[in-house]
Amino acid sequence: MELKDYPQLRLLEQTTVAQAYPLFFVNYAVQRGFLAEDVLEHSGLTLAQLQVPHARIAAAQHGVIVMNLLALFQSEHIAIDMGLQSSLTKAGMIGFGLMSCASLREAVELGIRFLPTKVPFYTIDTTEDERTFVCHIREAMSLEPVRKFAIENFVIEVWRLFESLFNPVGNTAGNPLGNSNEASGIELWFDWPEPAYYASYASSLPKCRFNAAGNQIRIPVKWLDLPLPTANATTAQMVIQQCEQELIALGLGDNLSGRVKNLLICRDGRYPQLEDMAETLHMSVRTLKRKLQTEGRSFTDLLGEVIQRDACLLLETTRLTVDEIAQRVGYQDRANFTRAFKKLTGKTPSEYRDWVVLR
C-alpha cells in the first residue's frame, strides 16, 4: 500500500512519533523472517533512519508501517503478541521515570502527562470509586484503518508496563499483584467483539471484556498506593524536568513557538514555509507572525533552530556525507549549507563532526 491509498493516514502527517516504536515493529517482523525493506515499503523511511536515537518520524509513516505489518502477517493477532513483549526500557526516559515513582498512582499520572512525547495517538483520563480505578483510553485523532490494531496493542502495552513496575525482574513470587493475571483483579475492556485469536493469548492476559462501552484498563484501587520497589524521588524529579522540556520542544506545551517547531518536518528535502505553516495552523500569515512576535520569536528563527537541530543530530549519529546531510535538511548546495551551518554553530559541518568525536 502507499500513503495515497489511505487518505485517512494523511491526517497524521503533521504529527510525530518516537522512532523506538516503529523500530520495534520492524525488528519484530525481521525476527520472524520478514525483510525490513518490506515492512518499510512506501513509508519513505530506511532502517538506518529508525536507528537514529531520539529521532522522530511522521505519524502517517508509522501508520504505513502498521499497514505493511498487517499485510505481511495476514492477522491482527500481532497486536497482542507485540504488546506482551513491551518493556519499560522501550518507553525510554518515561519508562525510567515510571520506575522511579513512589506508587502506581504517581506512575499513572506521570505516564498520562508525558504520553504525547512518545505516541500522540491517544489521551487517557481517569475515574475512581471506592473499588476501581479506571483509565479511559480515547483516540486523540482518527486511527482508521488501523484503529483496532492500534488500541489493542496500546492497551496491552500499558498494562504490561504497569505490571512491570511491581515486577521489574520477572520474579512473580514477589509481585504484590499476585502470581497470576486473574489474581491481580485488573481488567482490560475493548469496544469490539472478541476476536478468534484471543483464546490463544487468554492465559497471558488479565481478564478481558469485549463489546464493552469503551476501551479501558481497570485496576483495583488497593494497588494504587502500594510502594514501588524501584522508587527514587530524586530520579523521578530529574525525569519529570527532562520530559517537560521535551514536551515544549515538541510543541506539545502551551506556546505557539513549540507547536510550530514540532510541525517543521523536512520532507523530500523541503521544510514547510511560513505560508504552509499558517495554513496548517488555520490562521493567516499576518496572524501567525504577530502571535510569534508576542512570544519574542520569528518563523525564520524557529526554522533555523530546527535545521540546526536536525543537521547536528545527523552529523552526530549517522555516517552520512555532508552533501547527503545538506539535502536531508533542505539544501541542494553543500556550500550554502556549510555557510549557514557555520553561521549558526561557529563551525563547519566537518569541524562539528570532528568536535563531537573528540568531546
Tell me how far apart the alpha carbons of residues 324 and 184 are, in angstroms, rounded to a whole number.
53
How far, CA to CA in Å, does 317 sit from each of 140, 201, 304, 343? 32, 39, 20, 22
C-alpha cell at 351: 569541524
Tell me how far apart the alpha carbons of residues 113 and 123 are, in angstroms, rounded to a whole number.
9
Helix axis angle, 334-345 to 299-317, nearest 10°: 100
pTM of the model: 0.69
Strand partners, 135: 126, 217
Smallest Cα–Cα separation from 57: which of 90, 15, 9? Answer: 15
Per-residue pLDDT of the chain (359 residues; tens, 9 = 90+): 455 555 555 545 557 888 999 999 999 999 999 999 999 999 989 999 999 888 888 888 899 999 999 999 999 899 999 999 988 888 888 999 999 999 999 999 899 888 888 888 887 878 888 899 999 898 877 788 899 999 999 999 999 999 889 875 454 444 555 555 555 799 999 999 999 999 999 999 999 999 998 899 999 999 999 999 999 999 998 998 888 888 877 766 656 887 787 678 777 778 889 999 888 777 899 999 998 998 888 999 899 888 888 888 788 767 889 999 998 888 988 999 999 999 888 899 999 888 877 65
Tell me how far apart the alpha carbons of residues 125 and 127 are, in angstroms, rounded to a whole number.
7
Residue 335: partners with Cβ closer than 8 Å, 6 or more residues away: none
Long-range contact pairs involving 304-312 (C-beta distance under 8 Å, separation at least 24): 304/340, 304/344, 305/261, 306/261, 306/264, 306/271, 307/271, 307/340, 307/344, 308/341, 308/344, 308/345, 310/266, 311/337, 311/341, 311/349, 312/345, 312/352
